[in-house]
Structure 1
Amino acid sequence: MFILLHLFLECLGQTQTFLNLDIGIHILQTLQATSEPNSKIIVKLEQKIFDSTQLLICDSEITLLKENCIQDINSFDLKKNTQIVQLVYGLKLEKYQEQLLSMKQLNEYPQVIGTYSKQISNFSITISTMNILECASQCQNNGICQNGMCECLEGYFGADCSIIALDITVESQYHKNAFYYFNIKECNQQSCSLNIQFNQVGKYRQTCYAENWYLLQQNVIEKKEIKIIDVQSCLQNIKNQKLNPKQFSYYIFYFETECENSQQSINQDTRSILIIVITTVGVSISLCCCIICYYFFFRRRKEEHQILPTMPIYPKTEIQRYLPKQVYKSLIIQYPGLTSTDECLICLDKIRDSDYVRLTYCTHIFHIQCIDNWLEKNRICPACRSELDEVTLIKVAKQKKNDSLIYENKVSRLYGDMGTPNLTMTPQLRSVEMTQRL
């Protein structure tokens, strides 16, 4: 037996609360047609906790078959706490208005407002009027109300843009009880298709959003794939109903089970392998570069240590032997040809008469401290780059000695003993002196 409850609200906008209603059909109010222009009646059912109560507005009477009734099917299927039905007068309704916006024509037949529940229910009913261009519920997720309907951004659906969906072409894992969409608005000029393979048999529902707005009323499909060969028929429905293609050019999918896109998995595996290979090659190259740099660095350090030992290359005793310490004034008196050199080419200071200097075999004069510090790190003359290593100095010294002996023998034969030449003189200076004497 149906339990009938006739409650007539005194005026629109009043909210009536119903507590602990028994299971079955409950008739709450009967509405007659109104001639108020540009307005619509909003009937809203609200619950604190969803308990399977369904709001119904029917012609004349309510039956279990729900014939000639309108209801907010999407909100009920998604177990929302609020259901809204809109009644309009003198307006020809399109299919999307009946299904998506839950609209019903308020004609000459009395409209019965009631509910059907499978268990004891608690809810409140609010009846109000609203301008026909206003939206019955507030648009969510940045949706915009246009001509009584919320225009949603891509990825949001429903009468109030509260249903969130993900792009099915970029996801690799499809979750249970989740929505996904395929955007076909780019297929206007050419035919396009969708083909997704699963790793296992999946259960899902699919619908062209321009054909059917009851998102969970479609038959469950059990396959290992989603295959839509042509989407032109879905696009044609958008043109036929003069819908906004930006909002309705979608295929919408709802998954009943967890599914995995095998193609995306392969691509991800390929990308992972590629990343691992690139990383491995990069690390190997970096390691090789480090080893090479390490090798050349220590090899250079070793060579530097060979060139620049901790102890001076030329001990002072050796320097004094081959490049003896002399007073600059005495050196100039002894060799007047050196007067053109009056500054140290290391510190660039002028050499005073009392300064101690050293004269190289290449006839360059330096402060004694400057040349000593230089020879601790270098093997060449700072002025002309002549070799000043120990081997060269010994060789030059021997050559000087031989030149001196030859000169002494010549002088002895010609003039007798005229004294021993100074061995510290360079070959160039000795040649000048020999020419003058001869």
Structure 2
Amino acid sequence: MIILIFLTFIHLTVNQKIEQTYQKVQGVQSFQIKNLTKDGFPQRSKIKISLTYFDGEIPILLLCLNKPYANMSMDYDSITKEQCYYDANAYEDNNKKQIVSLQDKLVMKKYHKNFNIYEFLENSIFVGAISKLQASYIIQAEIISIYSCSKECRNGGSCFYGVCECLKGTFGDDCSIQGLDILQQSTLSSNYLYYLDIKQLTGATFLRILSNSIPLRQQCYADKPQINHGTQILTNLLQIDHDRIQNCKNITLQVEEQMKVQQTPYYLFKISDQNSVEIFENNVQEVGISKIMLIVFIPLSIILFLLIICCCYKMFKNNSNLQQQKLQTEPIPTYVDIYIPTYKFQEIKDTDIHSMSIDHQYCSICLERFDLLNTVKITYCKHLYHSKCLKLWIEKIKVCPLCRAPLDEQTILSMQPPKSMTLIDQITNKSSNKLKPSNGSLSFFNNHNLTRFQNINYQRSLVCIDQ
């Protein structure tokens, strides 16, 4: 049993990891990984391929769609033109180890290439190395979990979902490359990589003036993670416009979403030859923005002030028009409004209510109960109605709904008491004369009107006027 387990372990080990040594070779050398994939590509796994250099010229570990020519140039442009991939940052930094990975196409995404992870093509993939001079090295291939990182994450980086998540100012698929914050520099040297953290910009653009023109490479890191292969220009300006800044932010966001790692939007700068240069002006952006803000703010303030004045004038004019329209649309008061006073029911209730014919406290026209806040009118015949109800009634039938007393304008005018005996005066003074009727009380008003009412031709009370 123990022997069987041991043999099984040996079998798995052989099929999980293979290697080949190359001693003092040159040109293109191939490396077979068929033993790892003869049973199909392992699920939830990837193939880690590494080249460890020992002696001679540093070779390049290659993944190609087809076997490359032996005379192919060993530079970035020639290699990519031949549809080959390699660990550019590690090779150009003279690392002794270069690592690339192969992954099943079903789980591949666009930005896996940023971390040296490429699609496995069973029938056409070439794995090998190239050197122009003699070199000694070992190529190894092994199956690892898709969630494991092919390289050890350095400088405080952490492995998440099979890729390294780097701390600020560190770059590469293993976080081994360190840069300097260009916002903190007064001089630039070809010995260092400089980065611009776009999130730290206070304006929409970035601009720095240099003391002289230099060959300079600049690139959005998320778009081109190969440190030494940004766009090269000869310039005395470090300048990134708004569109390129926004584009870099968008690409960085896509990398974060696809690879499940946090990544800061960076622009990288590197001097291409052995030069040093001073940053002549460090505040061009801020000064330029201040001037622009000043130039824009003053006219905008004037325009805003004029708009406020126009709005105020328009509002004033509209209010005036509304008042005029309101005056024009207000109904002309009739003799009912003028000669039959209006009161709150609360006021009437607090007076000598027993003299009024409101036993059940209902309006006889609409048959609704009086509310304390209702406006009411009292006819000279001692009947109480809602103001609106009585007005609408008299417009059609000029007699009292209960006793048929005439309520035409002539009769109403003849029933008006002297000004000193109006209900308003008596209700105002009701607290001092509440117990006995006085010449100005509600009882006196009703008795006075009753006497005058009896002296009117009684036949008029039975006639319906202006029906």
Which residue of the other structure, out of 172, 182, 194, is the alignment partner of 2:196? Answer: 182
Distance 1:101 1:254 in 2: 21
1:168 partnered with 2:182? yes
SS in structure 2 opposite 1:247?
A: coil
Deviation string 1:310-332 (CA, Å, 9 cap, x unpaired) is xxxxxxxxxxxxxxxxxxxxxxx
What letter matches 2:268 in structure 1?
Answer: I
User: Which structure has greater helix proportion?
Assistant: 2
Which residue of structure 1 lines up, in the alignment, with residue 278 of structure 2?
Answer: 260
1:38 partnered with 2:41? no
Distance 1:182 1:69 in 2: 30
Relative to structure 1, the CA distance from residue 121 to residue 260 in structure 2 (aligned partners, 3 Å threshold; closer, same or farther) is same
Which residue of structure 1 lines up, in the alignment, with residue 251 of structure 2?
Answer: 237
Shift of 1:207: 0.5
What pairs with 1:4-403 in structure 2 (closer than 5 Å)?
Answer: 11-22=15-26, 24-31=27-34, 32=37, 34-48=40-54, 51-63=57-69, 64=72, 66=79, 67-98=82-113, 100-186=114-200, 192-230=204-242, 231-241=245-255, 242=257, 246-256=262-272, 257-263=275-281
Distance 1:235 1:74 in 2: 23
Structure 2: state its 5+ residue gaps: 1-12, 73-77, 285-467
Shift of 1:245: 8.4
Relative to structure 1, the CA distance from residue 236 to residue 216 in structure 2 (aligned partners, 3 Å threshold; closer, same or farther) is same
TM (normalized to structure 2)? 0.50
Greater shift, 210-219 or 36-45, is seen at 210-219
Aligned sequence identity (%): 27
SS in structure 1 opposite 2:210?
A: strand
Deviation string 1:320-364 (CA, Å, 9 cap, x unpaired) is xxxxxxxxxxxxxxxxxxxxxxxxxxxxxxxxxxxxxxxxxxxxx
Distance 1:85 1:232 in 2: 31
Q: Which has the larger radius of gyration?
A: 1
Which residue of structure 2 lines up, in the alignment, with residue 364 of structure 1?
Answer: none
Shift of 1:12: 4.0
Shift of 1:201: 1.4
Shift of 1:58: 2.1
Greater shift, 223-232 or 211-220, is seen at 211-220
Q: Give the aligned length.
A: 254
SS in structure 2 opposite 1:97?
A: helix
Relative to structure 1, the CA distance from residue 149 to residue 15 in structure 2 (aligned partners, 3 Å threshold; closer, same or farther) is same
What letter matches 2:115 in structure 1?
Answer: L
Deviation string 1:277-333 (CA, Å, 9 cap, x unpaired) is xxxxxxxxxxxxxxxxxxxxxxxxxxxxxxxxxxxxxxxxxxxxxxxxxxxxxxxxx
SS in structure 1 opposite 2:263?
A: helix
Shift of 1:95: 3.6
What letter matches 2:44 in structure 1?
Answer: N
Relative to structure 1, the CA distance from residue 249 to residue 220 in structure 2 (aligned partners, 3 Å threshold; closer, same or farther) is same
Deviation string 1:52-91 (CA, Å, 9 cap, x unpaired) is 4111122342333653432112212222211101011143
Distance 2:45 2:261 in 1: 27
Relative to structure 1, the CA distance from residue 49 to residue 203 in structure 2 (aligned partners, 3 Å threshold; closer, same or farther) is farther
Relative to structure 1, the CA distance from residue 165 to residue 119 in structure 2 (aligned partners, 3 Å threshold; closer, same or farther) is same
Across the aligned residues of Structure 1 and Structure 2, the Cα RMSD in angstroms comes to 2.6
Whether the 8 Å CA contact 2:48–2:101 is kept in 1: the answer is yes
Whether the 8 Å CA contact 1:50–1:80 is kept in 2: the answer is no
Distance 2:205 2:217 in 1: 17
SS in structure 2 opposite 1:212?
A: coil
Whether the 8 Å CA contact 1:59–1:109 is kept in 2: the answer is no
Distance 2:56 2:192 in 1: 19
Distance 2:155 2:33 in 1: 35
SS in structure 2 opposite 1:178?
A: coil
